[in-house]
Structure 1
Amino acid sequence: MNYKYTYESPLGTMIMLGTLTYLTDLFFVDEAHAPSYDDAEYIEQKTGPFEVTIMWLDQYFKGQKPFITPPIQLEGTEFRKSVWSVLQTIPYGETTTYGDIGKQIAEKQGIDKMSAQAVGGAVGHNPISIIIPCHRVIGSNGKLTGYAGGIERKKYMLDLEAKHK
């Protein structure tokens, strides 16, 4: 069975998708690359993973570093999963660049370099917004670039984290 739940965040409506065991997607309804899903195939219900996700989001938007992470299950290519794995290591209140993530991936794969654009594509298709902190990735020049949920949301979250670091 597939489940969904709607969450009203300070930044807009978010949708959670998942199973009784895992959160598989978390996204703003109007974000780029939001998954297409057939509403009829999902039951609107607050499952265990969704309850943990709600606690996480409530803490986060209150300016607190969440202390518990919901169980997640990621579907994607091995490359995307490797990028999403690196995203999960970016500490609360800190940022990294697409190029730095590319260097980490290249090192793990034993190759000379990895395209920052390829990394950006994987970051942009992150299925679990905020919890897998793609908003903490910035351009090499320090500019806020490329957030599927919109630059205004990215700025809000980075400012929130900076205030409560």
Structure 2
Amino acid sequence: MAHLLADSPLGTLTIASNGSAITGVWYEQHRYPPTAETLGERALPGTDPLLDAAATQLTEYLAGERASFDLPLDPAGTEKQKAVWDILCRIPAGQSRTYGEIARELGNPNAAQAVGQAVGHNPVSIVIPCHRVMGADGSVTGYAGGVERKSFLLELEGYRSADTLF
């Protein structure tokens, strides 16, 4: 386990890996911050190729130069959480889904609240795009990194909600 701190327009990001895959990307003041065990040793830029690649791809994404990520991921979570996170990874940039839509895709239309919990506990912010999930009415709601950051990411991707078309 190792982690790297990377500057970004959204504040310092903490990027963690288990040596073969990215296990986390957290903001400062993240609602569900990493633990010391999750982070491992601190790596310096240029010393860990996987962490450096993640930092580079995040920088490119946040500069509007990249729409998707090409990183191996291994987030810690339950099978149900991972099923939700897999769906999140299939939402294209600039588009969104509601918690209810994801629940229906999982075959349990009454599980919107459980989907919300899984989305909120996504440890790989930005790369697993939990910011693309909206409230039932299409509103920008809850985000472990803060609603302001969620709005920034959506705007960066060119997302237009139904109420901003006219």
Give the shorter-chain TM-score range.
Answer: 0.7 to 0.9
Q: TM-score, normalised by structure 1?
A: 0.88
1:86 corresponding residue in structure 2: 87
**CA 24–93 in structure 1, closer or farther in 2 if over 3 Å, else same:** same
Alpha-carbon distance, 1:63 to partner: 1.1
Match of residue 123, structure 2, among 97, 121, 127: 127
Map 1:1-165; keep pairs closer than 5 Å.
2-38=1-37, 41-45=40-44, 46-66=47-67, 68-106=69-107, 112-162=108-158
Judging changes above 3 Å, is the alpha-carbon distance between structure 1 residues 40 and 87 closer, same or farther for their aligned structure 2 residues? closer
Which consecutive unaligned segments of at least 5 residues does structure 1 have?
107-111
Matched residue type, 2:3:
K
Query: 2:38 and 2:115 mapped to 1: Cα distance?
Result: 30
| 1:96-145 superposed Cα distances (whole Å, 9 cap, x missing partner) | 11110000111xxxxx5242110000000001000100001001101111
CA distance in 1, matches of 2:19, 2:39: 17
Instruction: Please give the alpha-carbon distance, in whole angstroms, between the structure 1 residues aligned to 2:92 and 2:49.
Output: 25
* Cα distance change of structure 1 residues 57 and 105 upon mapping to structure 2, 3 Å threshold: same
TM-superposed CA distance for 1:8, in Å, is 0.8
| Matched-pair identity in % | 37
The amino acid across from 1:63 in the alignment is G
Contact 2:3 2:39 (8 Å CA) reproduced = no
**Residue 49 of structure 1: CA displacement?**
1.7
Q: Deviations over 1:71-120 (max 9, x none)?
A: 111221110000000000000111111110000111xxxxx524211000
Report the CA distance shift for 1:28/1:114 in structure 2 as closer, same or farther (over 3 A): same
- SS for the counterpart of 1:162 is coil
Structure 2 spans left out of the alignment, 5+ residues: 160-166
What's the TM-score once normalised by structure 2's chain length?
0.87
Cα RMSD, aligned residues only:
1.9
Give the count of matched residue pairs.
157
Q: Give, in whole Å, the separation in 2 of the partners of 1:97 and 1:3.
A: 34
Shift of 1:50: 1.1
